[in-house]
Amino acid sequence: MRSYPAVLIGRLGVHKDFRIIKGEEHRIGNQLMDFIKSWFVDGTNKTGCRFIVVDAYNTLNTLRYYSKNGFVELFSTEQQEKEFFELTDQVKLQTRLLYFDLIILGG
């Protein structure tokens, strides 16, 4: 894997009591992700990042959340990801690498 200008988001979560705010059109997690994306394409941000990368928990709900927010799996299969990290077939991946290409936002 080559090196690309990217920022890695650490563990991201919203407490279940605050995921939906009355009167808001979008859920807080989606608003937060939109803010992070906009921050890295803002003209005053000089990080030079092209990608946002997450090491997301390998659960259906978590992967669905990131997919709905435009993230794509870095490896198309879990097997490919295991091979890259030199893991045996018996190992269950706890996380999956996903990325968002900021170029689609004009960044």
| pLDDT over 70 (residue 67) | yes
Mean pLDDT of all residues belonging to the chain: 88
Domain boundaries, the chain: 6-105
Quick one: which H or E segment has residue 33? Answer: helix 28-41
Residue 1 pLDDT level (bands cut at 50, 70, 90)? low
| pLDDT over 70 (residue 2) | no
**pLDDT computed for residue 27 by the predictor:** 84
Q: Give the start-end residues of each E strand in 1-94.
A: 6-9, 51-57, 72-73
- Using alpha carbons, select from 4, 5, 10, 92 the residue that is nearest to residue 56: 10
Domain 6-105, classified CATH 3.90.1480.20, yes or no: no
pTM of the entire structure?
A: 0.84
Residue 92 pLDDT level (bands cut at 50, 70, 90)? very high
**pLDDT computed for residue 41 by the predictor:** 86
